[in-house]
Structure 1
Amino acid sequence: MLIDLDGMAPQDAYHLLTQTVIPRPVAWVLSENPEGDYNLAPFSFFTPITSNPPLLMISVGRKPGEGVSKDTRVNIEARKHFVVHIAHRGLASAVTESSRSLPHGDSELANLDLELADFEGAELPRLKDCHVAFACELYEIKEIGEAPQSLVFGKVTRVWVSDDVIRHDDKNRMTFDGATIDPIGRLGGSEYVTFGEVFKIPRPS
């Protein structure tokens, strides 16, 4: 089947892309609310994009039915710092619950059984139960498309990784065990995917 996107309604294009660009890593983003507590929200339009400088990008839409920017974008633009977490399968329900739309300034953490931990050298704390957390400072925000969508670029300043996932290869280089990180990936609709078989294919020299 050939599907022509020219003239397709945005919601149908979104449905098509999220069903076929799979799996997508999930950025679980902590940002600071105006009153000093924290907003927590998941985004699966997310990727690392450069290593020099080390940048991550999340694509943030608007609040459904309201046409206003989501709290994550508002908070990052105002306070310049945020933390991106990689959640594991045991946190999938909490990730989903944190996607609920709340009034601006209300904290998702008030409804979730999650602990914060100090993130040494970072402006904000991290979620204690995530194996990986990236402390980011705002690099740039670009608006793109008709909606528009906000592309938020964060410069990674520090990375926290649980000791449980750290390994060393035969050259004593630090590596990170993906199966122990156990990340969830986003499919379409309400579906997630978790790790199955892990296999290696050496790259050409």
Structure 2
Amino acid sequence: MLINMDSLNGTQTYHLMTQTIIPRPVAWILTENEGGNYNLAPFSFFTAVCSNPPIIMFSVGKKPSGEVKDTRRNIERTQSFVLHIAGSDLAGPMTETSRTLDYGDSEMDRLALSLDKDWGQPLPRVTQCDVAMHCSLYEIQEMGNNKQGLVFGEIQSVYLSEKVATQEPRLQVDAKSLDPIARLGASEYATLGDIISIPRPE
């Protein structure tokens, strides 16, 4: 099968990409709404792009109405956000936060999740996540015909739970313990199966 991308409409292109570019890590992003409550939403067009300075990127589309999504709106206003890596046990709540809500309607009011407001950062983190990164906005670029927002964030601090991280002899995060959820196509997700280790060439 050979598919000419020019023959596909936007929805068909999206489905092809999301079913073949797999698995994708998920950035679960918390931002602050104008009313002082919090927005929480998942993004699977997400990756690390630079280590000096430490910069991540995730891509934000628009609401079905064409409005800018709440996550981008909040980041542009506050210049900060918290990125979580969710374990597979949080796949249900994380998926629920992809629901389109009116601005200011907080996902936190609908879910049995708690926030840690005392971890020393300007925004809280979701307590149930073993990894949280407080990020400041580095820049936003727009891409494509639909003005997809590429949000670049500089990591300012990282929370790692003792369940997944050790520091001897150097920092090591146990991938199996973290058990990160990964996005596939349609309504499918993946968890970590067997982990193989292959030494990199000198």
TM-score of the pair, normalised by structure 2 = 0.97
Distance 1:76 1:168 in 2: 32
Identity %: 53
> Which segments of 5 or more consecutive residues in structure 2 lack a partner in the other structure?
none
- Residue 192 of structure 1 aligns with which residue? 189
**Secondary structure of residue in 1 paired with 2:49:** strand
The residue correspondences of 1:28-43 to structure 2 (distance < 5 A) are 28-43=28-43
Map of 1:116 onto structure 2: 115
Letter in structure 1 aligned against 2:89: G
CA gap of 1:10–1:175, structure 2 versus 1, over 3 A, is same
Q: 1:199 to 1:125 in 2, by over 3 A?
A: same
Q: Which position in structure 1 is the counterpart of 2:3?
A: 3
The one-letter code sitting in structure 2 at the alignment partner of 1:108 is E
CA RMSD of aligned residues (A): 1.0
**CA deviation profile, 1:149-193 (whole Å, cap 9, x unmatched):** 000011100000001111356xx1111000000000000000000
Distance in structure 2 (CA, Å) of the matches to 1:162 and 1:42: 21
Aligned to 1:175: 172
Q: Which runs of 4+ in 1 moved over 4 A?
A: none
Counterpart of 1:47 in structure 2 is 47
Larger CA deviation: 147-156 vs 5-14: 5-14
**SS of equivalent residue, structure 2 residue 163:** helix
Q: Structure 1 stretch 70-79 or stretch 2-11: which is displaced more?
A: 2-11
Residues 64-99 of structure 1: CA distance to partner in whole angstroms, max 9, x if unpaired? 2x0010000000001111000000011000001001
1:142-161 to 2 correspondence within 5 Å? 142-161=141-160
Change (3 A) 1:12 1:119: farther
Summarize the Cα distance change of 1:21–1:202 in structure 2 as closer, same or farther, 3 Å threshold. same
Consecutive unaligned residues of structure 1, counting only runs of 5 or more, are none
Q: What is the SS of the residue equivalent to 1:15?
A: helix
- State the distance in 2 between where 1:178 and 1:18 align: 23
Residue 202 (structure 1) aligned to one of 176, 195, 199: 199
* 1:33 shift after superposition: 0.3
Query: Are positions 1:106 and 2:105 aligned together?
Result: yes
Total equivalences in the alignment: 202
TM-score (norm 1): 0.96
Mapped contact 1:119–1:160 kept (Cα < 8 A): no
For the residues of structure 2 that align with 1:78 and 1:31, how far apart are their CA atoms? 10
Aligned to 2:71: 72
